[in-house]
């Protein structure tokens, strides 16, 4: 799962710099040590929107069905590649928006299908 951390300064205070890492739940701790020696603290507020969307689905009885719009890590890209991906998807007949960290904003089910086909991805849920 993707977790977001806020980098700490030398005094242990949070800065505006955010680091995102894929980690398993058992490896996640409150504070992590980055490869360059700095430390970062898990920021619950940055992870909150995804958790709230999941809770909203469960409250409204839509278990397993995504609330639209949602952000897709799997169909996303590096933030540096966003302009290139937008141009590529336009050339394939669909338009897409991305978050600043490179996740694809999926507007609705038909948009999801168009992007999936343009990227030649397989849907493991069986909606091929």
Query: What is the pLDDT at residue 12?
Result: 87
Query: What is the pLDDT at residue 84?
Result: 94
Chain centroid, CA 110 distance in Å:
20
Beta bridge partners of 8: 14
* Mean pLDDT, the chain, integer: 81
Query: What is the pLDDT at residue 42?
Result: 86
CA distance linking residue 42 with residue 113, whole number of Å: 33
- Under the banding of pLDDT at 50, 70 and 90, the label for residue 83 is very high
**Mean pLDDT value of segment 90-118:** 90
Beta bridge partners of 74: none
Quick one: tokens of 62? 């839509």
pLDDT digits (tens, 9 = 90+) for 17-76: 888 878 887 888 888 888 898 999 887 776 666 655 555 555 555 555 656 788 888 899
> Would you kindly state where each structural domain of the chain is located, as residue ranges?
2-59, 70-118
pTM: 0.48
In angstroms, what CA-CA distances link 15 with 19, 34, 40, 41, 43?
Answer: 11, 14, 9, 10, 11
CA distance linking residue 5 with residue 108, whole number of Å: 29
């Amino acid at each position: 799962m993707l977790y977001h951390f806020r980098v700490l300064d030398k005094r242990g205070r949070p800065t505006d710099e955010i680091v995102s890492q894929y980690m398993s739940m058992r490896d996640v701790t409150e504070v992590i040590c980055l490869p360059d020696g700095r430390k970062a603290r898990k920021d619950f507020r940055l992870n909150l929107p995804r958790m709230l969307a999941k809770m909203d689905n469960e409250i409204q009885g839509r278990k397993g069905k995504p609330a639209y719009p949602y952000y897709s890590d799997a169909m996303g890209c590096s933030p540096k590649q966003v302009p290139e991906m937008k141009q590529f998807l336009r050339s394939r007949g669909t338009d897409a928006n991305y978050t600043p960290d490179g996740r694809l904003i999926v507007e609705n089910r038909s948009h999801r299908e168009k992007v999936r086909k343009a990227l030649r991805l397989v849907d493991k849920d069986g909606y091929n």
